[in-house]
Amino acid sequence: MAFPKKKLQGLVAATITPMTENGFKKDWHQLFLNASVTCSQIKQKTCDCMNRQDLLPVTEEINFSVIGQYVDYLVKEQGVKNIFVNGTTGEGLSLSVSERRQVAEEWVTKGKDKLDQVIIHVGALSLKESQELAQHAAEIGADGIAVIAPFFLKPWTKDILINFLKEVAAAAPALPFYYYHIPALTGVKIRAEELLDGILDKIPTFQGLKFSDTDLLDFGQCVDQNRQQQFAFLFGVDEQLLSALVMGATGAVGSTYNYLGKKTNQMLEAFEQKDFSLALNYQFCIQRFINFVVKLGFGVSQTKAIMTLVSGIPMGPPRLPLQKASREFTDSAEAKLKSLDFLSFTDLKDGNLEAGS
Site residues (CB under 6 A) for ligand SI3?
A: 14, 84, 87-89, 212, 236-239, 253-256, 290
Nearer to ligand SI3, 14 or 355 (CB): 14
Query: How many residues are given for the chain?
Result: 357
* Residue 77 near residue 349 (C-beta atoms within 8 A): no
The smaller minimum CB distance to ligand SI3, of residues 55 and 318, is found at 318
Nearer of residues 143 and 239 to ligand SI3, judged by Cβ: 239
Q: Is 180 among the catalytic positions? A: yes
Answer yes or no: are the C-beta atoms of 232 and 178 closer than 8 Å.
yes
The active-site residue, picked from 178, 180, 259, 282, is 180
For the CB of residue 345, give the shortest distance to ligand SI3 in the complex, in Å: 26
Burial 261-291 (b: 16+ CB within 10 A, else e): bebbbbbbebbeeeeeeebeebbebbbebbe
Q: Among 16, 145, 123, which residue's Cα sits nearest to residue 71?
A: 16
- Residue closer to ligand SI3 by CB (options 274, 295) is 295
The residue type found at 135 is Q
Closest by CA to 24, choosing from 324, 313, 306, is 324
Q: What is the DSSP letter of 207?
A: E
User: Which of the residues 210, 263, 304, 336 is marked catalytic?
Assistant: 210
Strands (E), the chain: 10-14, 82-85, 117-121, 144-148, 177-181, 206-211, 232-235, 251-254
Q: Nearest distance from residue 242's CB to ligand SI3, in Å? A: 13
The CB-of-318 to ligand SI3 minimum distance in angstroms stands at 12
Q: Which is nearer to ligand SI3, 63 or 256 (CB)?
A: 256
Find the shortest distance in angstroms from Cβ 307 to ligand SI3: 12
Of the pair 49, 296, the CB lying nearest ligand SI3 is at: 296
Among positive and negative, which fits the CA dihedral 296, 301, 305, 311? positive
The answer to whether 89 touches 300, Cβ cutoff 8 Å, is yes
- At closest approach, how far in Å is the CB of 337 from ligand SI3? 15
Residues 6+ apart with CB under 8 A from 244: 211, 216, 219, 233, 235, 237, 252
Residue 302: CB minimum distance to ligand SI3, A: 9
Residue nearest ligand SI3, Cβ-based: 87
Is 210 designated active site? yes
Q: Which residues are catalytic?
A: 180, 210
